[in-house]
Structure formats: C-alpha cells, structure tokens
Structure 1
Amino acid sequence: MTTSTGDAVRPYTGDALTALLPPDLRLLGLGEPTHGVEAFPELRNELFRHLVEHEGYRSIAIESDCLAALAADAYVTDGIGTLDEVMAHGFSHGAGAYPANRELLRWMRTHNEQRPPHERLRFYGFDGPLEISGATSPHAALTGLYDYLAAHLDLPWSRATLDELLGSDGHWTHPAVMLDPNRSVGRTPEARELRLVADDLRVLLTAHAPQLTAATSADDWWRADLYSRTVTGLLRYHAGLADTTPDRISALLGQRGVMMADNLDAIVRREARRGPTLVFAHNSHLQRYESSMPFGGLRVRWWSAGAMIATRLGDRYAFVATTFGARGADVPGPDTLEGVLSTVPHARAVVDPQMFAAALDRTLTPRVPADYTYSGLDPATLDRIDAIVFVKEI
C-alpha cells in the first residue's frame, strides 16, 4: 500500500468515522456484508453508544419486522415485558438469537431507566413482516388500524366483513407460495377488495389526523400509521407473490425496498425533534446504487431502501459500508478492495472512499467470496459510499 493510499485509512474509532460524514445528518446507514457474524452487530453497538453519547442520536432501526419491534421498543423505553420475552418475539429473521441484539436492548433499557420520556432511546424495526419463506397475513396490521379508527369514527365496514375477506391466516402464509405464484391468494377478488379497504382506511387516518391525535396521542396515531403502511405494503407484496412473469423476484425485492424506505421516512419524521437515527442492515439494503443478487440461476436487481431514501433526504442521509478481509480459508485476492485493505496494520479501520480511490495506482476487481451469503464491495461504487469500516479478520 502506498503512503498516499494509506493516508485514506485510520484505525477505527467513532470519532474517526463521524469525521468523514456530512453535517446535519438525519439518518446514518451502517451496512454489514453478511448476516449472522457477531463482529458486525457488535461494531454497530459500539458505534451507537458513541453516537448517543457524543452526537445526539436517540434512536436505532434494524433490519427486522416493524410490528414485532414494537415489543422491543416498549421494553427499552418503558420496561414492559422481560428481555427473554422480547428476544423471543420482538425480532424477525432469527435476529432474536444474536447475542449482540440482546446486549443492545439491555444497554438501551439501562440507559433509559433514569431519563424522562422525551430523552429515552427508541428501538425500531424498519423491515416489513416478511421472511425468506414469504409474507405474514395482513390480519394483525389491518385489524390494528381498523380498531383504532373504529373507536373514534363511523366506518362503513364491520370487523366481521374484514374477517370474511381475510379468511384464514394459513391461506396467506402457505410455504409453497414463495416458489409457486399459483398458490398465492394475493390477487383473489377478496384480496383486491381488501386493498381498496386498506386504502380507504389510510385516507381516513390522514384526513382525521388532527381529531384522532387530540383524542388519543401522537404516539397512538403514529402506531396506527405504522399499521396502515404495513397492511398496504403487505397486500401489495401478496399481489406480487401471485405474479407469474419472469420479473417476479426483482419486483418483490423492490416492493420490500419501498416498505423499508417508507418506514425509514416515517421514523426520520418522528425523530426530527429528538435527533438523528442510526439504521443497521445488510449493505444491499442501504447502498445508494442498484442492488443485485443471484437467485435461481439468474441475477435479480432492484433499488434498495437506501437508494430510495437518499432521493428524499439528499445529504441528510449517509451510507457507511462494512466489509472484511479473511474469513477462515476465504482470503481476498490482492487485486480486490478487501485484498488491498488487508495490508493495513489495523484490526479495524475507517476508510475515506474518495481519497482511497483517488490514490489507487491500479484497477481493482470485485471480490467473489467463497461463501455466497457474503457480498463484496464493488470498487466501482466507491464514489457513492460516505465511509467504509474494514474488519481485517473474522
């Protein structure tokens, strides 16, 4: 590594990272290159503590079910439930089993115990109620929205009508649906009617926001709005599951990205008076450039939540990509970004991507990792990354 390239690299600290970021951030995206490796959520926890203590952050959002996360937020803000219960029911994608997530909630709860409500840290999930195997039933989100509105407005539908249209949850969540669009109920007459109902309920929620907020609270209205965003997104996603065209998977990934971006937008607006938010997810969900991955022998492409939210927030959004060098026998080649960074002496490093790219004296090739669950950084995208955190070995 040349001296000029080395000038773009510093040992990792919270201060070294934030020094590379634009001022007046509202949302800071910290990506990870793979799931299930504790080094990355542990790094996230360390960074979040720094941001809370030195940069005025008061909230964190992670790649997990937005509805399930309500239980985790209730625990960290008000001590409702137990930590074991929240780890079992407050996460999706198996994230409740990660020790770093348990430590995050424990630390947030301890931090909040002696603070007034307006200063307490909040926890969010920003993903839809989705798993790799499919999507949940829209039942919980739709009835949550309906019950909130029905307590204060005269609605032209009954709960019995909604239950009849929804049918059994098992029809929505059948495991064969993800691979067989013909098993999906997302485009049945009942599902189409539910999409109209959900849209009308969302309009009522918005139109009567002053009345509803005064009768309940801003937090209650925000939760109802979360139900509204979720049910409309879920019904749209289930309709996508019934799609039989070749672009089905790309379209589903794009719809998931829209749900994520809309949730992040709502979180930023809710937190506007309290401070910026840290969001943690896979790099592919937070990057500004087009995302892609192999699926069924093809390469599917979509625009991520990060790319979408960047168009809304501009320079108030920053993306920090995380990557690593050696993982057992999987060692990056010398002409990859990770290979060059592996020559630095630091176990963890902060990299200025623009300075690093300007100092390179050769063209780097994208890393093709041995483990397909890991995504290397494309050197051609360095101009669209605000900072890189490099972990030398995991």
Structure 2
Amino acid sequence: MNDNLEEYVSQVARQAKEASRALVTTTGGRKNGWLQLSAERIRSQASTLLAENERDIAKAPEFGLTNAQVDRLRLTPERLEGIAKALEEVAQLPDPIGEIIDSNPRPNGLLVTKVRVPLGVVFFIYESRPNVTVDAAALCVKSGNAVILRGGKEAFHSNMAFYRLLSETLVECGLPEHAVQLVETTDRAAVGAFLKCHNSIDVAIPRGGKSLIERVTQEATMPVIKHFDGVCHVYIDRSADLQMARDILVNSKCHRTGVCNAAESFLVHEEIADEFLKLAGPALLEQGVEIRSDDRVRSVIPEALVATEDDYRTEYLDLKISAKVVDSIEDAIAHINEYGSHHTDVIVTSNFNSARQFTGEVDSAAVLVNASTRFNDGGEFGLGAEIGISTDKFHARGPCGLKELTSYKYVAYGDGQTR
C-alpha cells in the first residue's frame, strides 16, 4: 500500500471521529432540517443526478453486471422521488439519542438511568445501489453517527453526485462537514486500510455479496454488523389458502428479483402439493422464472430442471427459484434452518398452531405469516430507511434503522452518596 493511500485513509477516519463528537450534541431539529433540505435538493437537482447515473449505466457492461444488478444501479425520476421521500420519513421519526431506555432509583437515593447514545463512526461498505448512499447517510447522521461510505465502483459517479449534494447541505445546516464522507478512491486496498482503523472507526457494516462480507469479517479490527445472503423461503402449509399462497410466492420471487428479500426457494406440503403446483407453476413460468426442483415437483411441472444440493443454498438474485415437496411442517423448518441464510422466511397457513410453530422454530431475522418476503424492509416495518438487514444476532438483527445504529450508556445521578 502506498503512503498516499495510508495518509488519505487516516485523514478520513480522523475527520469522521471529530465529526462524531460534534454530532453527539447536535439537536434533532438541526438534523431534521438537514434531511428536509437534502430531500428538496434531490428533487431540484434530479437532472444532474440522473445524468451522472447514466454514466454508470453506460459503463455497466465493462463490469459484467447482470440485468438484475443493472436494475439495482439504475436511477429513475420515480426512484429519486422515493429517495427524497425516504429522507422526509426519517426526519419524521423520533430522535433516538438521549432517550432514557430505563430508570432505576436505588434505595440509597442514587438514580441510575440507561441512555441511548450513538455508536460513533460507521464504516459502511456496499455495492451497486446508489440509493443506499443517501439512506445510510440519513440514518447515521439522524442517529448521531458519522459515516464513511465506500460504495462499489459500478456506482461511482452516482455516489459522488449524491455525496456532493449531501456535503453542501450539511454545511448549510450547520452540521459537521465530515459527518458524511465518501471514499473517493476505487482502490480495493482502501477497504483493508479502513478496516485497520479501530481507534477511529467504531463499527463496520458490509452490505453486498458473500465474498465482500467474508473479507470484511476476516480483516476488520472493529465489530462488524453483517448483511449476509438472502436465501429466503416461502413454505406453503397444508392448510394454506392456495390462491393466497400463489400470489405471495409470485410477489416474493418476481416483484424485484435482485434484492436480498426476494424469495429464492419454496417448499410445499405433500398433502396439497399437486393442487398448489398446478396453480403456482404456470404463474411462475409466465413470469419467466426458471424452477429447479426435486422429482416430486417435476412430476407436476415438467418444465422444471433438476435441482442440485447447491441450488437449495443459492441466492440467485435472478428469475430462478428452487423448489421441494416436504412431508411435514417439521421437515420444512428443518430444511429452512439447514439451507437458508437466516434472513427472511414465510409460512402461508390458516392454522394458528402451524404459524406459531413456524415462527418459533425458524431461526431467521424475520419470519412472516401470510405475507410476502418483500416486507422485510425498514420502511415497510415502520423503521424508515434501513442501512441493511442484519443476519447476526448481536448487536442488531433484521432491518437496521435508527435504534439499531445506537448503543447505550449508564448515567447515574446522586446527591453525595459514597460507598
């Protein structure tokens, strides 16, 4: 690694640490003002943002992006409006900093409180979704954290355009200039250098492919909140409303195939397998979905391909899905816990006991009953935007919104007590 890169990384990390200290005492009103102004600027600068995004789209073939990856990269007027609205929604959320989580008056008169505080500095590494640049900045600053953003090279021009906009509005609103910083080099060595800055960076959050997550986990010298694969399942129980189940499955798979909460596998109880597969098979095939399955599924859907063991562990992020007939709900749960990624799993059932068993025994960050996997999302869960969906159990799990970007400290009030 050259000296210039080391110096650059050290400077960015140091500036973030200084900004994080100033953010601790920044009022919620000032942070909300920045969010509102940023939303207005996104609308007024839409043409510039779209033009910069087109530069990235034009270079997509050089990076070998799939159609689903290009879709994730692309900005449209509608998506820009969605980004602006997400900022406004975050502004409407309660400021978590300073919240008294618990209060405990002791017999000696000491009042012990548990108070929500920022994590400090977040190093956020993500791939080709430029909207995430804005979501992450909004959530981090609102929760009192400085953030260092390392986006993918595929979205470099889009990310830079958003970064320039956010930097301008930070200064205009009197917030620390370096509360949001974008890593302005695509050198892969920069990631490794930042991951060594444990004295300045408090947590790393990688959001992307498996290789990225594994690299960050191995190299980080600070805690990591991981956003691992989304091998999400829909299980159709024997008591399911089959029309409902078909609609949920098609939506889970086809609404947007290139996102982490899209379904990648479905399981169906053997008692209703024939009837359901005759209903769902054509619906999936009409959408262009390639089905990879066991013999039992192929006996009803002859167009399906033979599934390998790896297919049941694969996050396709494409119009592909694995499928299997199971003998019982217990078999479905065992399959999901073995082959899934503990992200999002769904049961379609009209039986309360089945729903309770499934939600209790499936070890995933989000378990839904009679609803699409696509609802595991910060906005849909009422958290505002999200910085990612954690498949960890510590420190956060599921959609990571404002509160998941905080910690706490104990503050005790006395009047002269000694021990």
Based on CA coordinates, which of the two structures has the bigger radius of gyration?
2
Normalised TM-score (structure 2): 0.25
Normalised to the residue count of structure 1, the TM-score between the two structures is 0.26
Higher RCO structure (Cα 8 Å, ≥6 apart): 1
